[in-house]
Amino acid sequence: MQARLLLEDGTLFTGKSFGSEGESVGEVVFNTGMTGYQEVLSDPSYCGQIVTMTYPLIGNYGVIRDDFESVRPFIHGFVVREHEDIPSNWRAQYTLGSLLKEYGIVGISGIDTRMLTRKIRHYGVMKSIITTSDKSVEELMEVLKNTQLMTDQVSRVSTKSVFGAPGHKERVVVVDFGAKSGIIRDLSKRDCDVVVVPQNATAEQIRRLAPDGVLLSNGPGDPKDVPHAVEMIKGLLGDIPLFGICLGHQLFALACGADTDKLKFGHRGGNHPVKDLISGRCYITSQNHGYTVKEESIQGTELEVTHINNNDRTIEGLRHKQYPAFSVQYHPEAAPGPFDSSYLFDDFIQMIRDYKTNNPEQPRQAQMLAQWKASTEASPTAVKEELQYAQK
């Protein structure tokens, strides 16, 4: 069956359909990874986007459920040069086409993905429509013009309830803005007691879970579409150690008074060089984002830049000058990509331990007594009732 991809500038690509039949509108982007297409498909940060793989052969090792980064794909379309529907891999459980069909995702193959990528690099990401219908180009363009891109992706991909991955060491609350499973796996490897909360959790709700640290996860879309998360971070900053990843990094910057802006075509792939300004070392990183923290907005805040992108010099890491809080724009858990930066999870845990050493808590009984005294001071009637009960 024929499939078509129409960009908002009028460029039309015609190829073969694989996966589901139908029609979908989204922002067309490209990923430069040579492997890892199933992790790309299952990364919630791609919600609302039509993803183009620049590597020409996709589907050759099939799909393995154990390697997913979320429970299901959230992309709005998949674009490849050559689609292989007979995988050669003893672990394969599905073909790529059957996975897309299961979740109603339209795929298109047989188009010039190199031309498409060059167009995105030159003109920037743009709205597009992918379809297997026989509508005219004019009809498709009308649908494209009348369809607004999503602004609620975070609420779509975030968990709706609290759940945990028990461990015996530091309790880390992960705020799920679209968290990849790799983040939870890396924390669990370090025996952290992980509690995952929805994206709209308040600072007070998070405090009730008695976290030793809070991790702000990756996620899709514009950080300014999640203003409640910025307020939550402000409420925790300085009291609980924080670590932000990708969208979490951008939200951390906004909470500290910095600003964000949209990149022309974003960073998506497993081969982005990042320089650590403290050590001078260069790391190859996995990235997936379309927004960045504006360099000039850092001035006048309590933030300092710790990492930069060696390709375009954009900010890749931040640290608060006073409080135990830092963030990175890339993915230290990789999946797909190199594991060069997994040490950041160790740095986060060490920051938690240092903070606890320098800020010892009162014994639990002393805390409870202080809370009781505070409540009785606020309510003299409660004191009188307590005394009357004691006399009885």
In this structure, what token pair is assigned to residue 376? Answer: 């009785």
The secondary structure element, H or E, covering residue 172 is strand 171-175
4 near 141, Cβ under 8 Å?
no
Consult the annotation and say whether 107 binds a ligand: no
Consult the annotation and say whether 221 binds a ligand: yes
328 near 341, Cβ under 8 Å?
yes
> How far is residue 355 CA from its own chain's centroid?
26
Task: Out of 27, 69, 84, 333, pick the active-site residue.
Answer: 333
Consult the annotation and say whether 290 binds a ligand: yes
First-last CA distance in the chain: 85
Question: Residue 2's closest CA among 132, 110, 139, 138?
Answer: 132
325 near 348, Cβ under 8 Å?
no
Integer Cα distance of 366 and 40 in angstroms: 49
Question: Residue 17's closest CA among 92, 79, 95, 109?
Answer: 109
> How far is residue 127 CA from its own chain's centroid?
21
Indicate the angle between helix axes 380-391 and 364-378, nearest 10 degrees.
110
333 is catalytic: yes
> How far is residue 194 CA from its own chain's centroid?
17
Consult the annotation and say whether 33 binds a ligand: no
Question: What one-letter code names the amino acid at 107?
Answer: G
In this structure, what token pair is assigned to residue 33? Answer: 């990874």
Question: What one-letter code names the amino acid at 171?
Answer: R
- Cα distances (Å, whole numbers) of residue 368 to 4, 12, 386: 65, 67, 16
361 is catalytic: no
304 near 321, Cβ under 8 Å?
yes
Backbone φ, ψ for residue 384 (5° rounding): -60, -45
256 is catalytic: no
> How far is residue 289 CA from its own chain's centroid?
8
Task: Out of 47, 192, 246, 256, pick the active-site residue.
Answer: 246
Backbone φ, ψ for residue 174 (5° rounding): -100, 115
Consult the annotation and say whether 291 binds a ligand: yes
Consult the annotation and say whether 235 binds a ligand: no
The residues that are catalytic are 246, 331, 333
Binding residues for L-glutamine: 45, 219, 221, 247, 250, 288, 290-291
Binding residues: 45, 219, 221, 247, 250, 288, 290-291
